[in-house]
Chain A
Amino acid sequence: MNFYDYLSFVYGALSTVGVSFVAIIVGIPLGLGLALLRWARIPVFGKCAYLYVSIVRSCPAVTLIMLIYFGLPQFGISLNPFVAALISFSITATAFNCEIWRSSLLAFDRSQYEAAQAFGMTRWVRFRHVLLPQIWRSSIPGLINEMTLLVKNSPAISVIGLLDITRAAQRIGARTYEPIPPLLLGFAIYIIIVMLLIELQKRLETRIRSAGI
């Protein structure tokens, strides 16, 4: 492998991490929003959230990204591939994160939420000081797990011509007739990214324990 091969790995890693990172940043709060709509049993919106999650969950990453990249131009919206990838991964992350938040909400004891109401806490204070700290704590393992899945689904972006880690490995292997070394290098990069996420999980969990929030 030459210098340009390594460079394409760096490029691939950046787009993998970039797409995953944006999807995480978008997906966590939007997923929480959808989960809250269902939790609060808001009639029409709760049903919409349910439909959204059901439809998105049944669409494979590759299919969704192609639908967005090739489908939206039919409606006059043309996208560059990277933006299409960001949108597609954010849509998926939102749906899956919604279910993770929702499982924490289902386990949350509503009586102490009502106590917060009786003690004069406004909706926002109840959310911020009673609900969120508790569901955040119980959602962290699921959310981090979903992040690792996002990273590992990222090869899907290569179907619309973007370079990710696996695609970089594949291209190098095809040129050098030695597919294994670049694939192992790609694998090593995935390991590093996932290890970093696991480290993040550990830190978040110990921070919560010591802060007692």
Chain B
Amino acid sequence: MNAIANPKPATTDTVLRVQGISKSFGDNHVLKDISFDMQKGEVVSLLGPSGCGKSTLLRCINWLEEPDAGHIRLNSERMGYAGSGAKMNDTQLSQMRSRIGMVFQHFALWPHMTVLENVMASPVHVQKRDRKEVENEARAVLKRVGLEDKMDMLPSRLSGGQKQRVGIARALAMKPEILLFDEPTSALDPMLVGEVLEVMRDLAADGATMVIVTHEMKFARQVSSRIIFMDSGHIIENRSPEDFFDHPQTDKAKTFLHSVQYK
């Protein structure tokens, strides 16, 4: 287990450093001593059977869940704790979180805002940037995800795939240092999955640092620079996609790949 825990010291290119994260809900130990690093531009897919703690791990990274133990560092700044070692207050935590983009399984768009307003909300209200400048950027980001003709619509008028592309545009508009995807295509009709994966593929090619929780194995293999496989709260494989998919080392991973019918 130790062999895959932070094998090298952090470098200036280390965007995310997760060290010894544990999290329990009551008697349920969801995460047990999780450690891994991510370099700039890396795309890591978190795989594993449902209930293995993937989503909780993502939520610990941006402190939506506070881990019981361990450190999260974003570009060497510690998440959740100020320099003095005291817990961050609401404002400090918000500032940290605004540097991490998140895309949700069920989109979680703000239904009372138009598509454009959804994308502009955080840059304007959190990053306090100039509204005009943000609007221009938001339009450009929406164009990038192919939604230039939907900007003034409310999210309820969009298809699932379009909603998720708004979700991605909303995350991109904050110019985050890292993007977290929590099963971004699991709530979509099969025929709409492709358009969302397309956008993510484009981001990966563009050098974005991404953590993706997904059940799309083919996509994970094509787009990831690394696969982290989790089971019962542990990381049990952390390797290149070719190694993982072609030569899984653990029985758990073999069983998993078999059960998702990956060939």
- A-side residues, CB < 8 A to B, are 109, 111-112, 114-123, 125, 129-130, 133-134, 137, 212-213
Min CB–CB distance B158 → chain A (angstroms):
15
Chain A residues with CB under 8 Å of B108's CB are 111-112, 114-115
Report if B7 contacts A (CB, 8 A): no
Chain A residues with CB under 8 Å of B126's CB are 119-122, 125
Stretch of B76-84, B88-96, B132-140, B250-258 at the chain-chain interface: B88-96
- Among candidates B62, B99, B113, B125, residue contacting A125 with C-beta atoms closer than 8 Å: B125
| Known interface pairs A125-B125, A129-B121, A212-B117; A119-B112 also in contact (CB < 8 Å) | no
Interface of B is mostly: loop
Given contacts A109-B111, A212-B114, 14 further A-B contacts (CB under 8 A): A112-B109, A115-B102, A115-B104, A116-B110, A118-B62, A119-B122, A120-B96, A120-B126, A121-B126, A125-B94, A125-B125, A129-B121, A137-B112, A213-B113
Q: Which residue of B lies closest to A110 (CB)?
A: B108
| Known interface pairs A111-B108, A112-B109; A117-B117 also in contact (CB < 8 Å) | no
| Known interface pairs A125-B125, A129-B125, A212-B154; A118-B64 also in contact (CB < 8 Å) | yes
Report if B174 contacts A (CB, 8 A): yes
Report if B170 contacts A (CB, 8 A): yes
Chain A residues with CB under 8 Å of B91's CB are 122
Report if B98 contacts A (CB, 8 A): yes
B64 touches A117 (CB 8 A): yes
CA A117 – CA B109 in complex, angstroms? 12
A212 touches B112 (CB 8 A): yes
Chain B interface residue count: which class? Answer: 20 to 34
CA A125 – CA B98 in complex, angstroms? 13
Min CB–CB distance B171 → chain A (angstroms):
8
B111 touches A122 (CB 8 A): no
| Known interface pairs A129-B121, A133-B112, A134-B112; A119-B106 also in contact (CB < 8 Å) | no
Q: Which residue of A lies closest to B109 (CB)?
A: A112
Min CB–CB distance A136 → chain B (angstroms):
10
Min CB–CB distance B91 → chain A (angstroms):
6
Chain B residues with CB under 8 Å of A112's CB are 108-111
- B-side residues, CB < 8 A to A, are 62, 64, 90-91, 94-100, 102, 104, 106, 108-114, 117, 121-122, 125-127, 154, 170-171, 174
Chain B residues with CB under 8 Å of A111's CB are 104, 106, 108
Min CB–CB distance A123 → chain B (angstroms):
5
Chain B residues with CB under 8 Å of A114's CB are 64, 108
- Among candidates A120, A123, A137, A213, residue contacting B97 with C-beta atoms closer than 8 Å: A120
Chain B residues with CB under 8 Å of A130's CB are 110
CA A213 – CA B121 in complex, angstroms? 12
Chain B residues with CB under 8 Å of A116's CB are 110
Chain A residues with CB under 8 Å of B174's CB are 119-120
Q: Which residue of B lies closest to A132 (CB)?
A: B112
A119 touches B170 (CB 8 A): yes
Chain A residues with CB under 8 Å of B94's CB are 120-122, 125
Q: Which residue of A lies closest to B152 (CB)?
A: A212
Chain B residues with CB under 8 Å of A213's CB are 112-113
| 10 A–B contacts, CB within 8 A, in A order | A111-B106, A111-B108, A114-B64, A115-B110, A117-B64, A118-B62, A118-B64, A118-B97, A119-B102, A120-B99
Chain B residues with CB under 8 Å of A117's CB are 64, 97
CA A121 – CA B93 in complex, angstroms? 9
Min CB–CB distance B114 → chain A (angstroms):
6
Q: Which residue of A lies closest to B100 (CB)?
A: A118
Min CB–CB distance B75 → chain A (angstroms):
15
Chain B residues with CB under 8 Å of A121's CB are 94, 121-122, 125-126
